[in-house]
Amino acid sequence: MSRTAAAPLAAEEAVHLKAFRELESQFLRALSLPTFRRRWGFTRMRQSPAAAPAYFLWSNRRRGVHALEVMDARRGSNLLGLGPYLWFRLGMKYYPHPDEAVFEEFSVIERLLRLGPSFGEQGIPTPASSRQFGPDSFAIGFIECAVQDDRALTWLSMWAPDRWVEIREAGLSVARFPGDLTQVLPPGGRNRNVPAWALAWPVYPPLVAAFCLDSSVRLRSAMTATRPALTIVTRSDGAVQETPAADTLERRYDACLLPTADPEIGRRIDQAMARLVGGSAAADPTSDTRPWQATRLPITRGRKTLPPVPGRRTS
């Protein structure tokens, strides 16, 4: 959830576009199926007209709009010893409807943006305004995907904090009229307190299910993990600091998909999952090296949907 991790990273435009098309091919095919739409609640998907490769997702279960944006993409030479692959990271955003209760949990600036001319009638940013948003504006989480070239393996990972919290040490005042500043946040107040995991999670299971539409693809392995979340603090001098939160967790879910029951590929996945459970970094780590406390989840043979996280609703 760090600002460093959230900033768009340099990559070849062609690779970004390939990652975008990979996402498009999976989700659009899924959304064309009435059974898929009924199961997961997503009704339509639209490409963003802005420059950044992104999609908007509408659901009949929330009044706001989800967005997935390709933040980084690159080619890799060897995924678990299986050869070349495409890796990409998606930024997850949520544009709340002003009448939703969660609207009040977003930052003052986000709420002002959402109520102003930056958004159109469909509840999504206008092309011109979206380019002016900061990288953390409306952010709720991240998804990473690694797809081996001949689809011998697909690895999908999502992470988000239970609550994405931002604090402003000096508070915040806005000008309602020229020269008239009104305090809208007291010093040390929480500028943002978004239930990020709850907003982000509904996108992940259908994405996994979309990759599993191929009749041969099955869920081979799954893992859930937690670690202390970070609270973002804007100091009085404008500097931004991230501090571990004492009462909020960041959550992660990994899923590995296979088209075959190849025991050798399964063994390599098991070894990679064991390293993750042991606290080592993922195959494509971010700059954030805080360790995860991870748990493998039991998988029944032939399963195509995610197993539930013990004690938490996952669908």
Cα distances from 85 to residues 54, 151, 197, in angstroms, run 21, 9, 28
Q: Tell me, what's the pLDDT at 220? A: 83
Is the pLDDT at 307 greater than 60, yes or no? yes
Q: What is the pLDDT of residue 281?
A: 39
Can you tell me the mean pLDDT for 289-306?
Answer: 78
Mean pLDDT of 233-253: 89
> Helices (DSSP H) in the chain: which residue ranges?
3-6, 13-31, 34-40, 108-115, 127-130, 196-200, 204-211, 263-277
- Euclidean distance between CA atoms 191 and 83, whole angstroms: 45
Least confident of 62-76, 84-98, 145-159, 271-285: 271-285
Mean of per-residue pLDDT scores for the chain: 82
Q: In degrees rounded to 5, what are phi and psi of residue 289? A: -105, 15
Question: pLDDT at position 67, please?
Answer: 93
The DSSP bridge partners found for residue 74 are 87
Q: How many other CB atoms are there within 10 angstroms of residue 243's CB atom?
A: 11
Band of the pLDDT at 142, cuts 50, 70, 90? very high
Q: What is the pLDDT of residue 26?
A: 80
Question: Does the pLDDT at position 288 exceed 70?
Answer: no
Percent of the chain predicted with pLDDT > 70: 85
Q: Lowest mean pLDDT of 3-7, 12-16, 111-115, 308-312, name the range.
A: 3-7
Residue 108, both tokens? 């003052």
Mean pLDDT value across residues 174-203: 86
Instruction: Kindly state the percentage of the chain with pLDDT values over 90.
Output: 29
Least confident of 75-89, 100-114, 301-315: 301-315
pLDDT higher than 80, residue 8: no
Neighbours of 76 (CB within 10 A): 16
Return the sign of the alpha-carbon dihedral for residues 61, 63, 64, 67: positive
pLDDT in tens, 190-236: 899 999 999 999 999 999 988 888 767 888 888 888 999 999 998 88
Can you give the pLDDT at residue 4? 38
Continuous segment of H or E residues that includes residue 262: none
Entry pTM: 0.86
Which of the residue ranges 64-78, 165-179, 232-246 would you say has the lowest mean pLDDT? 165-179
Q: Give pLDDT, residue 283.
A: 40
The alpha carbon torsion through 273, 292, 301, 88 (nearest 10 deg) reads -70
Report angle CA 15, 130, 183 to the nearest 5 degrees: 140
pLDDT at 127: 81
Q: What is the pLDDT of residue 282?
A: 43
Whole-number pLDDT of residue 280: 43
Q: Sign of the CA dihedral 177, 182, 184, 185?
A: positive
Asked whether residue 132 carries a pLDDT value surpassing 80, the answer given is no
pLDDT score of 310? 54
Report the candidate in 291, 172, 163 with the shortest Cα–Cα distance to residue 225. Answer: 291
Contact 97, 64 (CB under 8 A): yes
Q: Are strands 154-161 and 164-168 parallel, antiparallel or unpaired?
A: unpaired
CA dist 287 and 257 (Å) reads 25
How sure is the predictor about 134, in pLDDT bands with cuts at 50, 70 and 90?
Answer: confident
Tokens of 144: 């990473």
The confidence score (pLDDT) of residue 10 equals 46
